[in-house]
Amino acid sequence: MGNWNHEDVLLIGGHALRSRFLFGTGRFPSPAVLQQALEASGSEVITFAVRRVNLESVEDDSVLQHFEDRQMQYLPNTSGARTAEEAVRIARLAREAGLGNWIKVEISGDHRTLLPDPIETLRATEQLANEGFIVLPYTSDDPILCRKLEEAGASAIMPGGSPIGSGLGLLNPYNLGLIAEQSSVPVIIDAGIGAAKDAAEAMELGADGILANTPIAKAQDPIMMARAFRLAIEAGRLAWLAGRIPKKRYASASSDWAGSLFETGVSAGGEQ
């Protein structure tokens, strides 16, 4: 286990990643803080929204200019899309712009909650997978829908813990555990994670990775928080691999009662 983090890689679409932390790049206080937080995170994948830029002042808008010297896997997303057709168009534009063939499908069905539209997400996933994209759909924590997305060709499934940017954490750990249990593609928990402990809990449920942005970017110290998430994800993964003890209804003494100086044959509150 000494080299577990080198041997235990995350495979998405045939690509091996050493880090299980997918890094969102929005809302950071400055490009310098963004770069230092990314360094502290250890992440190899960055996600960003595909947007129009002013070609006469690209220096003011392009996030990617800050990563020119890094070997990163780009994961553009379709944030802002309302239909499968819009998402597919954004994905094609991103690929033609040289951003590769990874795409995070993100189609909101409600402007207040920003919860994903399940039907449009499924349609876009199937279309883009057929076109050769490595598709990572952001979806709700519905095990049946996640299974359908996998059957449609998704390379990874990205169920939300709670609404985007809410910081509410994991509202339905039971469903997330079922999704992790049934999936044959990686499960990346996305959206709603508010603290490092949420990331650790998700990994202990069997998730393969975490995507986070707002809890890092809006922390009082984004760089320190990025490191906290990195350690939490690693701790959660180790705990999942190690295997937790089963839960019991009653107490269980950690010391063996055999040979006790005061052995009476009656438990003092634990099992014998």
Instruction: Name the residues annotated as catalytic.
Output: 104
What span, in angstroms and rounded, lies between the C-alpha atoms of 225 and 252? 37
Q: Torsion-angle region of residue 216: left (phi > 0), alpha (psi -120 to 50) or beta?
A: alpha
What span, in angstroms and rounded, lies between the C-alpha atoms of 229 and 232? 5
Q: Cα separations (Å) of 150 from 35, 42, 62, 163?
A: 33, 28, 32, 22
Closest CA to 210 of 223, 199, 225: 199
Amino acid 103 reads I
3-state secondary structure of 19: coil
